[in-house]
Amino acid sequence: MFKRLTSIIPRSVVPVPTQATRAFSYTPIFHKTNTSTRTRENVHDLETFFTLIGRNSVEHLELFEGDLNKFLETDSKTMKNLGIDTRSRRYLLRWRHKFVNDLEPLREHTRGKKKNGGERKAKLVKAKRTALQRLEERENFQKQELEAEEKGERDF
């Protein structure tokens, strides 16, 4: 296309396609040092560790005999054989990784709460709820009509 245009229009008028260059900006990442008292250096026993991470993890203290090193060396399969349920086991393993690598101060990550039965079932739950409300309203209306008829307020 450009060859044909250049033959008709002088070269100074025809725009020449060039590759666009994009300027990248660089922002340095400043790593924040962990200054919390809930760090690896300040936790020396398993009970403190479990109380800091929360979610009722203290109930598993007897399984590891209160030994922090035994907990840190235990893998997922051993925890499963000890009888720790999947959700708690994943939570403990996640915190063990963060603790060993000193990634984050120890704190409780609360479980999320589902709204309307979760994302997949939200439409169904909302539809059932509105259907039940309509049914209750209809029953209340029928009761009111029967009471009014018994009192003699309505003649049908």
Instruction: Specify the pLDDT at position 144.
Output: 92
Alpha helices (runs of H) in the chain, residue ranges in sequence order: 2-8, 46-53, 68-73, 76-82, 86-100, 122-151
* Residue 63: domain span: 40-100
Same domain (yes/no): 121, 146: yes
Same domain (yes/no): 77, 47: yes
* 8 lies in some domain: no
Out of 3-7, 60-64, 103-107, 146-150, the most confident range is 60-64
Please give the average per-residue pLDDT across 86-95, as a whole number: 94
Contact 70, 80 (CB under 8 A): no
* 17 lies in some domain: no
* 14 lies in some domain: no
Where residue 78 falls among pLDDT bands split at 50, 70, 90?
very high
- pLDDT for 133-147, tens place per residue? 999 999 999 999 988
Phi-psi region of 84 (alpha: psi -120 to 50; beta: other; left: phi over 0): beta
Give the type of residue at 145. E
Residue 12 has pLDDT above 90, yes or no: no
Same domain (yes/no): 118, 96: no
Domain count, the chain: 2
* 135 lies in some domain: yes
